[in-house]
Amino acid sequence: MSQTLSSGSGLRTATGIDTNLVHFIEVVMGWLRDRGSLEAVAKELTLRERDLKENRAYLVNEKRRRDWRKAVATPLDYRWPVARDMIECVREVS
Across the chain, mean pLDDT equals 81
Confidence of residue 4 (pLDDT cuts 50, 70, 90): very low
Q: Measuring CA to CA, which residue among 41, 46, 70 is closest to residue 57?
A: 46
Quick: pLDDT tens for 39-69: 999 999 989 988 888 888 887 888 887 887 7
Averaged pLDDT, 20-39: 90
The whole-angstrom separation of Cα 64 and Cα 47 is 16
Residue 67 CB-density burial (10 A; 0-12 exposed, 13-18 middle, 19+ buried): exposed
Opening angle at CA 28, ends 30 and 89, nearest 5? 95
Averaged pLDDT, 8-33: 84
